[in-house]
Amino acid sequence: MVCSRAMFVFFDDPEGPNLLIVTILAGVLYFLSLAAYSLNLSGFKKFVLAIFIQIIIAVSLYFLLS
């Protein structure tokens, strides 16, 4: 939710981010990071990889959509 909300905060929208869109993007980010989390890695590496994937996807989507 944090990465999704942060991405929409930076768009110049006078109405603010739509809650439904933020929730859907958070779900997409969650399922993509869950796929990476299911890889056969050790505990801390899984956690860091899942966080970095969420950040990379949110930043790349921001630049693609702006």
Reported as a single tens digit per residue, the pLDDT across 22-60 is: 788 888 888 988 888 787 778 788 888 888 888 898 888
Report the C-alpha gap between 26 and 60 in whole angstroms. Answer: 14
Report the C-alpha gap between 31 and 14 in whole angstroms. Answer: 30
Q: pTM (2 decimals)? A: 0.68
Of the chain, the percentage scoring pLDDT greater than 70 comes to: 91
Task: Give yes or no for a contact between 17 and 11, defined as CB atoms under 8 angstroms apart.
Answer: yes
Task: Return the H-helix or E-strand segment holding 44.
Answer: helix 43-65
Residue 11 in this model has a pLDDT that exceeds 80: no
Average pLDDT over residues 12-16: 68
How many domains in the chain? 1
Residues 6+ apart with CB under 8 A from 30: 54
How many CB atoms are located within 10 Å of the residue 7 CB?
A: 24
**Domain with 13 in it:** 2-65
- At residue 13, the pLDDT reads 66
